[in-house]
Amino acid sequence: MHSPTLSSSAVKEAAAAVGFDACGIAAATPLSEEEWGYAEWLRNGYHADMAYMEQYRDLRADPSLLLPGAQSVIVLLLGYKPSCLMEGPARIAQYAYGEDYHERIKRMLFQLIAAIQLQHPDFQAKPCVDTVPISDKQWALRAGLGWIGRNTLLVNPTLGSYCNIGELVTASPADHYDTPLSNRCADCHACVDACPNHAITHTAHTHIPLLDATRCASYHTIENRAETLPPHIRLSGYAFGCDCCQLVCPYNRQAAVRYTLTPERKAQLEALAEADPAAFRRFTKHSALNRIRHSQWRRNQDS
């Protein structure tokens, strides 16, 4: 099948019309370990018991293994900075305040494919949102959408690190590929200093930021399925995820608000602290909170 050459500017216009906050396009050449640091992250055991992170390593580095003949990776950002923060004894990471971003971004990716097909009926792409083994942050970096901050997250100049990432991997070449941005963290170490468990580190030689999940409150509140959490892990009031390293970032403080947390929704989130299992399941059905069981939710509050 013919793979049409894409107009970079037209794709970005279509992405904005669908509702994405930023779009960049990178050539689908494999990632190198020197720019990635993935092998060292695994070798150091920083993935904790997330054994699935050891799988599909080749696919994570090479989009052509996800889609034969891949030429381009179209990377999309959707900001989630809320208009205000929830309060109460069971805090939730801000990305989980609203609709499950997996569902929303996947829906938007299919809308973008349809929009591009209006100009190029033969256009085909594989949509990716977290559940597909692709290195989101590295492709966003390649696509000129930001840099990897010391908190190990993608930092976009406008959205800060308050953004979710999706991709379209396609066999279509683009008429222009974006250039990666230089790292703008400078000498700022606010995120490193703010982490209550000292989970932020870096590779030995290239100093690529790495997150040690064994020390990360977000890992323990979501991925750790044990009945009890390690006593030395400080959750800082979070029952789902953790935003400690993000709250202090200068780029996040000036980032544009992208989600209105209404008084009603804020009250619902805060009421979850006392929710029974049925109410918890019902409320979290279309939320990122559905990643955990009610028993974990209670455990996290008791830790």
Q: Name the average pLDDT for the chain.
A: 96
Please report the pLDDT score of residue 284 as a whole number: 95
pTM above 0.85, yes or no: yes
Distance between CA atoms of residues 103 and 109, nearest Å: 10
CB atoms within 10 A of CB 284: 21
Q: Which two tokens stand for residue 71?
A: 């030429």
Question: By the 8 A CB rule, do 92 and 239 touch?
Answer: yes
Share of the chain above pLDDT 90, in %: 96
For the record, the structure tokens of 88 come out as 């109460």
Do residues 109 and 136 lie in contact, with contact meaning Cβ atoms separated by under 8 Å? no
Q: How much is the pLDDT for 205?
A: 87
Beta-carbon contacts of residue 121 (< 8 Å; ≥ 6 apart): none
130 catalytic per annotation:
yes
What does the pLDDT read at residue 2? 73
Average pLDDT of the residues in 150-167 = 98
Report the C-alpha gap between 208 and 32 in whole angstroms.
12
Task: Kindly report, residue by residue over 70-91, the tens digit of the pLDDT.
Answer: 999 999 999 999 999 999 999 9
Q: Read off the tokens for 159.
A: 């959205």
CB 149 within 8 A of CB 252: no
Chain segment 182-239, per-residue pLDDT in tens: 999 999 999 999 999 999 999 998 899 999 999 999 999 999 999 999 999 999 999 9
Question: Is 154 in contact with 147 (CB distance < 8 Å)?
Answer: yes
Q: Of 100, 130, 136, 302, which residue is the catalytic one? A: 130
User: 103-130 pLDDT, tens per residue?
Assistant: 999 999 999 999 999 999 999 999 999 8
Token reading at 158: 């406008």
DSSP state of 257: P
What pLDDT shows up at residue 1?
58
Examine the pLDDT at 157 and tell me if it is beyond 70.
yes
For residue 37, the model assigns a pLDDT of 93
